[in-house]
Structure 1
Amino acid sequence: MTPEQTQADLLPGFLAISSVLTGFSEHALRGTGQTELYLATACEMVGDDSMRMMLGAFSACDIGDDTEAMGRHMRLCILSHARFGPLARNLIKLWYIGTWHCMPRDWHEAFGGNPADRDHIPSPTSYTEGLLWPAIGANPPGAKPFGYGMWANPPRVTRA
């Protein structure tokens, strides 16, 4: 199986777990234009096997629409897990601020991954498409302006 086929196979699960981790819909995540790139970045840095295992653990719990149960499952089975927790936290940071942070050294020693793992920005649009900006109701400084003089107004914070 080629890497492209492997990653295409992982895409639905990646979108599903990313939606739960970030609180944004799969549609909103796809709208950033970063989905395939972020999946490829994570797979390159930690390996397809680690990603596949985390997505398998995530999909193993079929809880329907019970958000409270989903939160418990994420805390117990993903975020608290020695292998999946650091990866899940990196995905949150990647989606929100557009930067991949190097996995911890002890993680690499225990689980492998790419020895060339490093902090980096996956694409020139990662910063402007970060979920941080819609989450706080603002536009990224220097990009996506609302219009003339909008810098003079405070950010519009929306409440859920």
Structure 2
Amino acid sequence: MTPDTPHNDLRPGFLALSTALTGFSEHELLGTGQTMIYLQTVCDMARSDCIADMLDAFCACAIGDDKAALDRHLRLCILSHPRHGPLARNLVKLWYTGTWHCLPRDWHESYGGNPADHDHIPSPTSYTEGLLWPAIGANPPGAKPFGYGMWANPPRVFRA
């Protein structure tokens, strides 16, 4: 995707929502290189107007620094909403695992979406850039090795 794509106007809201859903900063999300690919994926699978409506609902109450109020709004108005909830949950899975999961059949029957919606990996780097890996303090198996001879050291375990 190029910077002047049709979905570029959704990017700020998409990043803000993704930050709230994942707990990672915009800087960290942009660092994955997947932002526009994931936005395009969501728009392709669920239609642009569905994602735009979800972003509008999120941005309507995402003003201010009150984290508790934002979390409450996220749970009540986005994750529990019949139209926005499945999209938001898929977005979380997409950021963490690098895989888009097909939206439920009843969601498609109620709200439309792309009849070609299917489970898929949106880009060759989605797996290695998944947020799962930094969240657990590990590197993805088969990619991003720790370095020469690291196999000789015990695994690093991070405790909260």
**TM bracket, shorter-chain basis:** over 0.9
State TM-score, norm by structure 1.
Answer: 0.93
Tell me the equivalent position of 1:137: 137
Residues 136 and 158, structure 1, Cα contact 8 Å, conserved in 2: no
Q: Quick one: structure 1 residues 24 and 62, their matched pair in 2 at CA, closer, same or farther if it must change by over 3 Å?
A: closer
Q: Percentage identity across aligned positions?
A: 71
- Cα distance change of structure 1 residues 137 and 37 upon mapping to structure 2, 3 Å threshold: same
CA RMSD of aligned residues (A): 1.2
Residue equivalent to 2:110? 110
Q: In the alignment, what sits opposite 2:7?
A: 7
Quick one: distance in 2 between partners of 1:87 and 1:102? Answer: 10
Over residues 65-96 of structure 1, what are the superposed CA-to-partner deviations in whole Å (9 max), with x where a residue is unaligned? 11100110000000000000000000000000
Q: 1:69 & 1:157 partners in 2: Cα distance?
A: 29
Answer with 58-67 or 118-127: which moved more. Answer: 58-67
Q: Deviations over 1:97-132 (max 9, x none)?
A: 000000000000000000000000001100000000
Distance 2:130 2:83 in 1: 25
- Offset at 1:6? 3.4
Cross-structure match for 2:31: 31
Match of 2:158 in 1: 157
C-alpha distance 64-48 of structure 1, shift in aligned 2 (>3 A): same
Paired positions, count: 156
Q: What TM-score does the superposition give when structure 2 sets the normalisation length? A: 0.93
**Do the aligned residues in 2 keep the contact of 1:38 with 1:122 (CA within 8 Å)?**
yes
Alpha-carbon distance between aligned partners in 1 of 2:95 and 2:70, rounded to the nearest angstrom: 20
In structure 2, stretches of 5+ residues that fail to align are none
